[in-house]
Amino acid sequence: MMKNKIKYTTLLIFILVIFSNCNDQIIDCPNLFEIRPPDSQLIWVGKLFVGDRQCEPFDNYTPPNTKCLLNQSGIPVFETKIEHHPVCTACSCPLYSATHYALIKKEHLVRAEQIGFQRKDHQ
Protein backbone atom coordinates (compact mmCIF):
# COMPACT_ATOMS: atom_id res chain seq x y z
CA MET A 1 0.00 0.00 0.00
CA MET A 2 2.81 2.41 0.88
CA LYS A 3 4.64 1.53 -2.35
CA ASN A 4 1.56 2.48 -4.39
CA LYS A 5 1.32 5.87 -2.63
CA ILE A 6 4.98 6.55 -3.40
CA LYS A 7 4.51 5.52 -7.05
CA TYR A 8 1.42 7.71 -7.46
CA THR A 9 3.05 10.65 -5.68
CA THR A 10 6.13 10.34 -7.88
CA LEU A 11 3.98 10.14 -11.00
CA LEU A 12 1.96 13.17 -9.92
CA ILE A 13 5.11 15.22 -9.28
CA PHE A 14 6.50 14.18 -12.66
CA ILE A 15 3.31 15.26 -14.45
CA LEU A 16 3.22 18.58 -12.58
CA VAL A 17 6.83 19.32 -13.51
CA ILE A 18 6.14 18.60 -17.18
CA PHE A 19 3.05 20.83 -17.24
CA SER A 20 4.79 23.63 -15.36
CA ASN A 21 7.63 23.57 -17.92
CA CYS A 22 5.12 23.70 -20.77
CA ASN A 23 3.38 26.68 -19.21
CA ASP A 24 6.70 28.49 -18.73
CA GLN A 25 7.52 28.03 -22.40
CA ILE A 26 4.13 29.35 -23.44
CA ILE A 27 4.51 32.41 -21.21
CA ASP A 28 8.13 33.02 -22.24
CA CYS A 29 7.44 32.60 -25.95
CA PRO A 30 4.07 33.88 -27.01
CA ASN A 31 3.12 32.68 -30.45
CA LEU A 32 1.35 35.42 -32.35
CA PHE A 33 -0.80 34.13 -35.16
CA GLU A 34 -1.97 36.34 -38.00
CA ILE A 35 -3.08 35.70 -41.52
CA ARG A 36 -0.18 36.43 -43.84
CA PRO A 37 -0.73 39.78 -45.57
CA PRO A 38 0.24 40.46 -49.20
CA ASP A 39 4.00 40.52 -49.85
CA SER A 40 3.87 44.26 -50.50
CA GLN A 41 3.14 44.76 -46.79
CA LEU A 42 6.04 42.58 -45.60
CA ILE A 43 9.75 43.23 -45.08
CA TRP A 44 12.73 41.18 -43.96
CA VAL A 45 14.61 42.23 -40.84
CA GLY A 46 17.81 40.70 -39.56
CA LYS A 47 20.09 40.68 -36.55
CA LEU A 48 23.59 39.26 -36.10
CA PHE A 49 24.03 36.87 -33.19
CA VAL A 50 27.51 35.86 -32.04
CA GLY A 51 28.10 33.64 -29.04
CA ASP A 52 30.66 31.88 -26.87
CA ARG A 53 34.34 31.54 -27.68
CA GLN A 54 36.43 28.71 -29.07
CA CYS A 55 38.55 26.91 -26.42
CA GLU A 56 36.12 27.76 -23.61
CA PRO A 57 35.59 24.82 -21.28
CA PHE A 58 31.81 25.15 -21.49
CA ASP A 59 30.41 25.77 -24.93
CA ASN A 60 26.81 26.30 -23.91
CA TYR A 61 25.71 29.14 -26.20
CA THR A 62 22.16 28.66 -27.36
CA PRO A 63 21.15 31.04 -30.14
CA PRO A 64 17.86 32.80 -29.51
CA ASN A 65 14.67 31.74 -31.19
CA THR A 66 14.09 34.64 -33.59
CA LYS A 67 10.34 34.15 -33.77
CA CYS A 68 10.00 34.10 -29.98
CA LEU A 69 12.23 37.14 -29.60
CA LEU A 70 10.07 39.19 -31.95
CA ASN A 71 6.78 37.74 -30.67
CA GLN A 72 7.71 38.80 -27.13
CA SER A 73 7.79 42.38 -28.45
CA GLY A 74 4.35 41.94 -30.01
CA ILE A 75 5.64 41.45 -33.56
CA PRO A 76 4.06 38.59 -35.54
CA VAL A 77 6.57 36.67 -37.67
CA PHE A 78 5.56 35.03 -40.94
CA GLU A 79 8.83 33.31 -41.84
CA THR A 80 12.36 32.97 -40.44
CA LYS A 81 15.72 32.05 -41.92
CA ILE A 82 19.21 31.77 -40.50
CA GLU A 83 22.39 32.52 -42.45
CA HIS A 84 25.36 30.94 -40.69
CA HIS A 85 28.72 32.69 -40.98
CA PRO A 86 32.09 30.95 -40.94
CA VAL A 87 34.10 31.22 -37.75
CA CYS A 88 37.82 30.66 -37.24
CA THR A 89 39.11 28.05 -34.81
CA ALA A 90 41.43 30.32 -32.82
CA CYS A 91 40.63 30.62 -29.13
CA SER A 92 39.51 34.24 -29.55
CA CYS A 93 36.94 33.33 -32.22
CA PRO A 94 33.24 32.81 -31.51
CA LEU A 95 31.63 29.38 -31.58
CA TYR A 96 28.51 30.74 -33.23
CA SER A 97 27.94 33.52 -35.73
CA ALA A 98 24.77 33.89 -37.78
CA THR A 99 22.34 36.47 -39.03
CA HIS A 100 18.78 35.63 -38.06
CA TYR A 101 16.16 36.91 -40.50
CA ALA A 102 12.43 37.34 -39.97
CA LEU A 103 9.64 38.34 -42.31
CA ILE A 104 7.39 40.88 -40.58
CA LYS A 105 4.84 43.56 -41.46
CA LYS A 106 6.35 46.91 -42.49
CA GLU A 107 4.36 48.59 -39.75
CA HIS A 108 6.41 46.75 -37.10
CA LEU A 109 9.83 47.89 -38.35
CA VAL A 110 10.33 50.58 -35.69
CA ARG A 111 9.53 48.13 -32.89
CA ALA A 112 11.91 45.55 -34.41
CA GLU A 113 14.66 48.17 -34.63
CA GLN A 114 14.18 48.92 -30.94
CA ILE A 115 15.29 45.36 -30.13
CA GLY A 116 18.26 45.44 -32.48
CA PHE A 117 16.88 44.19 -35.80
CA GLN A 118 17.53 46.10 -39.02
CA ARG A 119 15.81 46.07 -42.36
CA LYS A 120 17.60 43.58 -44.60
CA ASP A 121 17.21 42.40 -48.14
CA HIS A 122 17.04 38.62 -48.06
CA GLN A 123 16.35 36.17 -50.89
pLDDT in tens, 51-90: 988 887 776 788 999 999 999 999 999 999 999 999 998 8
pLDDT in tens, 53-64: 888 777 678 899
Question: Distances in Å between the alpha carbon of 5 and those of 2, 8, 25, 31, 71?
Answer: 5, 5, 30, 39, 43
Residue 101's pLDDT is what?
97
Q: What is the mean pLDDT of residues 17-24?
A: 42
For residue 7, being part of any structural domain is answered with: no
For residue 1, being part of any structural domain is answered with: no
For residue 11, being part of any structural domain is answered with: no
Asked if residue 23 has pLDDT above 50, the reply is: no
For residue 38, being part of any structural domain is answered with: yes
Q: Which range of residues forms the domain containing residue 86?
A: 31-119
Q: What's the number of domains the chain is made of?
A: 1
Distance, in Å, from the CA atom of 81 to the CA atom of 75, rounded to the nearest integer, reads 16
For residue 54, being part of any structural domain is answered with: yes
Residue 54's pLDDT is what?
84
Answer with the residue of higher pLDDT: 28 or 26: 28
